[in-house]
Amino acid sequence: MFTRSKHIAPRAIALLAAILSTAALGIALPVSDQTSTVDDPVGDALFNAPAFQDVVFVQVTKTAAGDFELLMEMAGPVPVNPPLPSPGKNEIWWAWPFDLDPTTFPVGYPVHKAYASPEFVVHLSWDGAEFAGVAIDRRPLLAGGEAIITPVPFSIDGTILQADLPYALIGAVPTSFGWYGATAAWSGPVGLSEGFHAVDKAIFDP
């Protein structure tokens, strides 16, 4: 059953009413028509990152239809035209990685070749010109195929980022799997480099 961390701040409770480190993998996430949330300390982001890269709260909801509704709260509002703080001179990400099978390690996109990350990632990105919401299905990489990259609906409202992952994109998932919320910085081109830098993460702890 989904549970909410006992340490979540009151403002997070109000949000509930309104609505990429491998160490984070393998955390159980029971999948049903329920919600799981976790909070994260303010000020623990790496690289002296600004508040809009500092994760403080993450929420994952699976609907009865099998869709996922994803939410992330930052320590400060996301600017309309944010800078690209070092080392993220190429892009910055706010991401929800899903480790659907802890025994598999697909290698390839969004990095060039070396980094083995979860089988499915939803992220919001900023490249210095525009925001985008994207789902990356990395499961085809396990059979020598290409990752499937699909736009997804998203919204940004002050400190709150949200994205919707339709069932049609992810399909049936295990009854439990690992997940976390994270921010990342890209110092090189996405998909063509190993320039990925984890900035902050919030790990679900049942």
pLDDT, the chain, mean: 85
CA distance 114 to 136: 17
Cα 124 from Cα 151, distance rounded (Å): 10
The CA distance from 29 to 11, in Å, is 24
Check residue 56 and give its pLDDT: 98
The two tokens of residue 188 are 């090189």
Structure confidence at residue 3 as a pLDDT band (50, 70, 90): very low
Residues 6+ away with beta carbon under 8 Å from 126 = 82, 84, 91, 92
Q: Please tell me the predicted confidence (pLDDT) of residue 113.
A: 79
- Tally the C-alpha atoms within 13 A of residue 22's C-alpha that lie toward its C-beta: 13
> Coil, strand, or helix at residue 56?
strand
Residue 24 phi, psi dihedral angles, 5° rounding: -85, -5
Query: What pLDDT, on the 0 to 100 scale, is given for residue 13?
Result: 30
Q: Per-residue pLDDT tens for 134-175? A: 999 999 999 999 999 999 999 999 999 999 999 999 999 998
Is the pLDDT reported for residue 11 higher than 50? no
Task: Burial-class residue 142 by CB neighbours within 10 Å (0-12, 13-18, 19+).
Answer: middle
Q: Dump pLDDT digits (tens) for 57-105.
A: 999 999 999 999 999 999 999 999 999 999 999 999 999 999 999 899 9
Structure tokens at 58: 């993450």
Q: What is the pLDDT of residue 205?
A: 58
Tell me which DSSP letter residue 123 carries.
E
Q: Is the pTM of this model over 0.75?
A: yes
Q: How far is CA 63 from the centre of its chain?
A: 18
pLDDT of residue 175: 82
Given the DSSP bridges, would you call strands 148-151 and 160-165 parallel, antiparallel or unpaired?
Answer: unpaired
Q: Do the Cβ atoms of 119 and 100 come closer than 8 Å?
A: yes
pLDDT, residue 2, reads: 33
Average pLDDT over residues 15-33: 40
Contact 20/92 with Cβ under 8 angstroms?
Answer: no
Q: Give dist(CA 50, CA 38) in Å, integer.
A: 21
